[in-house]
Structure 1
C-alpha cells in the first residue's frame, strides 16, 4: 500500500495492521472494505489465504478498523474513546491467542486453531500487535492527527514524536490553521499612512 509523503511502511508484523487500518482513505473518500472479497484479498496479500468471510463480516470489520485507528491515534497522546475500547474488548474476546513453542524453544502468541472469518483476522491482528509490542514498534504505529485524514503511518523519526502522516500536507495544514486561529493583532503604530 502506498504511503503518503513517501513514508516507508510499518516493519514486519505491523504491515497487516497498518494496511487493514488504512482500508478507509478519509481524505480520498474511499473505503476498500466494500465486500467480503475485499477482506479476503487483503488477507491473501499478507499470506492469510485460508480465511473466508461473508457479507455480515464487513460492518464488524469496519468497526474493528476504526477502533484500531483510535488506538493508533492514542500513540500520539490522545486518549482512546471508551466505545473503541469496548469494541476491541468484545472482538478480542472472540479471537483468542494461544502460546506456541517451536522446536528451537521460541515462544510466540498465535491465533487459536479453528477460528474462522473475522475472528481469525482479529486474532491474527492481535498476534502481530503482541509481536510489535514486544519489539517496541507498536507505539510507533500512529494515526494522523488531522481529523479529516487519520491515515495510519509508522513513525520512523528518531525521537518518535511525529503527529501527522506527512508534514508537507497534513502538518502544514494544521500549522496554518493554528496560525490563522491565533490571529494577528494590528498595531496601529505599524500601519503605514499616506501623507
Structure 2
C-alpha cells in the first residue's frame, strides 16, 4: 500500500476501486459488505466490479509501460456499456459527463475516465474578450490565459486602445 495522496477528481474512484485487491495477500475488499458499501454495490454486483477493476488495472499497467498481469476484458469494451449524459451548468457554462442510469459503478468510472481526458481541453475553448467580436477560439497559450481570438487583430486593437487612452 502506498502513502501517496489520492488521485485528483474522479480518478480517486478509479484508484480506490483498483486498490480493493491486495495482490500480495489476495485480500479483496469487495468480499466484505463494508468494502462493497464503499462503492454502493450489492453482493451480486461485485462480480462485475471485479471484472471492471482488473480491466482498469490492465490499463494502468499499460500507462506505466507494463504488460497486463493477466487476460482481461478490454476496458474500452466495458466502458462502452456505460450510459453517460452531457450536463452543462447554466451558471458558469461548465460541462461534464455524468452517469445516465442513476449511479452505477461502471458509469461513475466511465465519467471519471472521461473527466480525466477532457479536463484540460474544455476550459480552453473560449470566446474572444473583444466586445465587438466574441468569436469562439481554442486557447493554445501555454498558461491557458489567452484573451482574444487573434493577437494580430483583436489583441492588437485592445492594446492600441489602451495605449491611446
Q: Same fold (TM over 0.5)?
A: yes
CA contact (8 A) 1:33 1:58 kept: yes
CA 1:133–1:82 in 2, change beyond 3 Å: closer, same or farther? farther
1:74 to 62, 69, 85: 62
Which structure 1 segments of 5+ residues have no match?
44-50, 137-195
CA 1:100–1:81 in structure 2 vs 1: closer, same or farther (change >3 Å)?
Answer: farther
TM-score normalised by L of structure 2: 0.61
Match of 1:31 among 28, 31, 41: 28
Q: Does 1:101 align with 2:88?
A: yes
- Counterpart in 1 of 2:152? none
Q: Between Structure 1 and Structure 2, how many residues are aligned?
A: 119
Match of 2:117 among 133, 136, 140: 133
The answer to whether the aligner puts 1:8 opposite 2:5 as a matched pair is: yes
Larger radius of gyration: 2
The 4+ residue runs of structure 1 with deviation greater than 3 A are 78-86
Contact 2:87 2:96 in 1 (8 A): yes
